Structure 1
């Protein structure tokens, strides 16, 4: 039995015990001893769920064969741009080799030919501005496509929004006009013979999707590790940079203000249900049902609909039951099968607000239809060799450009806790 399956079995047992105590409490008040045991069972469920999530994330990351990560092929725009910049396929391969040598050893150890090749990937501040960067960024060497692919793969695991939103990649960071629409109220009609077709305007708006510069902040690596040829430095560094940038981006994709940062999915979400007085830090079964049905069936029934909430809100939802005293939360007992809430999958997003007065603490809907993430394919890396030489360390700093915007606010709605 795998460790993950063992955790799933333990959680199923703890959940059954918690439900047994809750059922007893429905008939008569629990004794102090039973109440303590019930709380302990619920705590076990939460602890085991956290361990399961960690184990699943580790399993997903471990299962990624980074040598097989799909990168820019010959027939893609990204591949064409790489060949143009580096002088053909041979130039691309030469740049990747020179870049890896630079990453481990620095510029001084490169041959004159490698330095010449590496310069084809240098991007200074002037070129970044020409590519449409609205905010300043230091120049650096563009990471090769395989390294960027590893970073993006890691960012998916450390940014809940990337799991559910639509993600596009563009060559430059120039402002991209993006249509936003809600066409659910428009319908077709039968056309009689010799009758003119009537017009019905699509509710169409536009969002300007830019490219904000995100930094990983400084990552320091020991010289011993850099010089260890057995250590996969490229995969480790890509993972570390991806984690940091992924977390920073996810915070803005969730609750960003839209001013000097992306507008988050939660920020201006339409209210689908407001809790009744007294529900400043709670939610009830009827609230979740009303929230689900506040979203048009066209989005609910497409197979992509689900909840998004903070882990503390999920903990509250785990204790809820429907009218037949059946738990709303359905724990998975099989690896690879997601837990469900009222029959829908859910995404735990720690950047969602915790339940509090007037907080939009739970979202429901189709987030792929509702939110767009735009990445710029170029990622710059700076190597700081002298700054930490007295520590026998080298610093690395990555810059990535991205933006996000709601693209169909009818696709999802929010539950708002009561004001008092």
Structure 2
């Protein structure tokens, strides 16, 4: 290939719902071809470094353009996958499991559209729920809550891979054993001394309030063709996902979930429960110049075999761009693009989750995480999403103060390891 112009290169596909299968297949093929060009260009860059101790500016610029094109194509594949994973409405409306749910949905829609709450308040009181909390508001129907959680699972990177639990209390407590019962070998007729019992401790996951405040015009609310449930779920989806994504990675636990990077980090050789083990690259703020992929192998095998079966890498887009350039000892690129829509990119055959809240590669930064996040990190959702209608604060718009309570934290400190770019 003589060149690669990202401006003249045709757009590989459109991100419209219902995209034909042939177009989706062509999109994946375009991504694979772009990665082939990327590999050829990076090989040229490495060859120039070997022969002249520096790469040509033209080659570096070309590689950056292709890298940007790869990111763009992968984002579009993600958009197609996201649209395909969102729940579809059934013809004739959603299924209801009971008359009470139908009544609640109808009364809730009346409240959202017109502000009339006389039908909604008795239903919530009858269900033994609080009709109005200190800030006011009402619980959304179960179907709306479920759709919000499904949408969040599709767009929130850590929620998509972590363990989740719904609770009705404000704090979820999980006991765990820090020392098992004492055991020993004995002869057939030897005495059996009394053994000590297991030592238990407890992890607590408090739920914190997360809010969004979508706005609607009176015209939108008066339009009977507008699906109120879907509109609310779509409006809060991005706001909730962005806040959750940041908290699940870096949250300090103060009025928000505690992110996995907020826990103490120690070298893997000195790992103990309550800390996350780290593997160092040996170079401050960079991969080693010689055999850089070896530190990723060390990271993989720092994790016990029982966790590696469902393990994955977590990093941000810029770190993933640096990893794309790495090769194994046989000269093969260790990063591979998705093989199909809905599938992740892979690194050394393990899937890669892109979380923009992960730190960039820098001195002492734990820029890459690896582990079984479903066992390692727990997200706790308190049952119930609440909405307060406010037609006064931003006239002529109607605001919908939407809140949910969510918590999170590490539940298994042996299931997640970090690659630290440190000496």
- Partners of 1:198 and 1:3 in 2: CA distance: 70
Indicate the residue corresponding to 1:323 in structure 2. 329
Q: Secondary structure at the match of 2:414?
A: helix
Indicate the residue corresponding to 2:78 in structure 1. 53
The answer (yes or no) to whether the contact 1:122–1:140 under 8 Å persists in 2 is no
Q: How many residues align?
A: 379
Deviation at 1:258, TM superposition (A): 2.5
The answer (yes or no) to whether the contact 1:182–1:408 under 8 Å persists in 2 is no
For 1:77-226, list aligned pairs within 5 A. Answer: 89-107=98-116, 116-117=122-123, 120=126, 122-125=130-133, 138-173=135-170, 175-180=171-176, 193=188, 196=192, 204-216=200-212, 218-226=213-221
Indicate the residue corresponding to 1:261 in structure 2. 256
The answer (yes or no) to whether the contact 1:265–1:405 under 8 Å persists in 2 is yes
Indicate the residue corresponding to 2:244 in structure 1. 249
Q: Which moved more, 1:354-363 or 1:318-327?
A: 354-363
1:295 aligns with 2:303: yes
1:103-141 Cα shifts (integer Å, max 9, x gaps): 11211xx6x55664466565433xxxxxxxxxxx62310
- Partners of 2:405 and 2:149 in 1: CA distance: 12
The counterpart of 1:12, out of the listed 9, 15, 32, is 32
The structure carrying a bigger helix percent of its residues is 1
- Partners of 2:138 and 2:178 in 1: CA distance: 42
The answer (yes or no) to whether the contact 1:169–1:376 under 8 Å persists in 2 is yes
Could you say what the CA RMSD is over the residues aligned between the two structures, in angstroms? 3.0
Indicate the residue corresponding to 1:237 in structure 2. 232
Deviation at 1:56, TM superposition (A): 2.1
CA 59–93 in structure 1, closer or farther in 2 if over 3 Å, else same: closer
Deviation at 1:182, TM superposition (A): 6.8
Stretches of structure 1 that go unaligned for 5 or more consecutive residues are: 75-88, 126-136
The counterpart of 2:279, out of the listed 261, 266, 273, is 273
Deviation at 1:405, TM superposition (A): 1.5
1:65 aligns with 2:73: no
Indicate the residue corresponding to 1:128 in structure 2. none
- Partners of 1:93 and 1:402 in 2: CA distance: 27
Indicate the residue corresponding to 2:400 in structure 1. 396
CA 199–337 in structure 1, closer or farther in 2 if over 3 Å, else same: farther
Give the TM-score taking structure 2 as reference length: 0.80
1:412 aligns with 2:416: yes
For 1:341-352, list aligned pairs within 5 A. Answer: 341-352=347-358
The answer (yes or no) to whether the contact 1:385–1:395 under 8 Å persists in 2 is yes
CA 99–313 in structure 1, closer or farther in 2 if over 3 Å, else same: same
- Partners of 1:186 and 1:10 in 2: CA distance: 57
- Partners of 2:56 and 2:237 in 1: CA distance: 50
CA 142–32 in structure 1, closer or farther in 2 if over 3 Å, else same: closer
Deviation at 1:374, TM superposition (A): 1.0
Structure 1 segments, 4+ long, off by >3 Å, are: 1-4, 24-39, 71-74, 89-92, 112-125, 180-183, 185-205
- Partners of 1:114 and 1:293 in 2: CA distance: 56
Deviation at 1:48, TM superposition (A): 1.6
Q: Secondary structure at the match of 1:147?
A: helix
Q: Secondary structure at the match of 1:360?
A: coil
Deviation at 1:100, TM superposition (A): 1.2
Q: Secondary structure at the match of 2:261?
A: coil
Q: Secondary structure at the match of 1:167?
A: strand
- Partners of 1:72 and 1:24 in 2: CA distance: 58
Deviation at 1:246, TM superposition (A): 2.7
- Partners of 2:197 and 2:334 in 1: CA distance: 40
CA 118–222 in structure 1, closer or farther in 2 if over 3 Å, else same: farther
Deviation at 1:305, TM superposition (A): 0.5
